[in-house]
Amino acid sequence: MAQLSPFNTVFQAELLAIQEACLWASKTNQQIKVWSDSESSLHSIASIDTKNPIAQQTQEILLKSTNIKLGWIRAHVGYSGNEAADVLAKKTT
């Protein structure tokens, strides 16, 4: 499991959360869609020119695990899973 330090940015935390979800999903044989409200993180992962090591590692996971798809979800509009994730994130800060 990824560990955050007080020096991690919100962007890094979002990328690590996506990466952890992809790692978990890579161990299943099911089709999994990982939703994120972090458009910048999803763009970084989708970019062939990304220099971010977390995004690059996530790309490697996705290349090996064709059962995983990423998707963007609008934040703060009432999606229950997204709202639950926000509540959990606030408890850790």
pLDDT in single tens digits along all 93 residues of the chain: 667 777 779 899 999 999 999 999 999 989 999 999 999 999 999 999 999 999 999 999 999 999 999 999 987 777 676 677 666 666 655
Structural domain includes residue 49: yes
Q: What does pTM read for this prediction?
A: 0.83
For residue 56, give its domain range: 32-91
Cβ atoms within 10 A of the Cβ of 29, count? Answer: 6
Q: In sequence order, which residues have a C-beta less than 8 Å from that of residue 2 and are 6 or more positions away? A: 16, 17, 19, 20
* Residue 8 counted as domain residue: no
> What is the C-alpha to C-alpha distance for residues 77 and 60, in angstroms, rounded to an integer?
32
Give the C-alpha separation, 71 to 63, whole Å.
16
Count of domains for the chain: 1
User: Is 18 inside any structural domain?
Assistant: no
In a domain, 77, yes or no: yes
Q: For residue 70, is it within any domain?
A: yes
Beta bridge partners of 70: 34
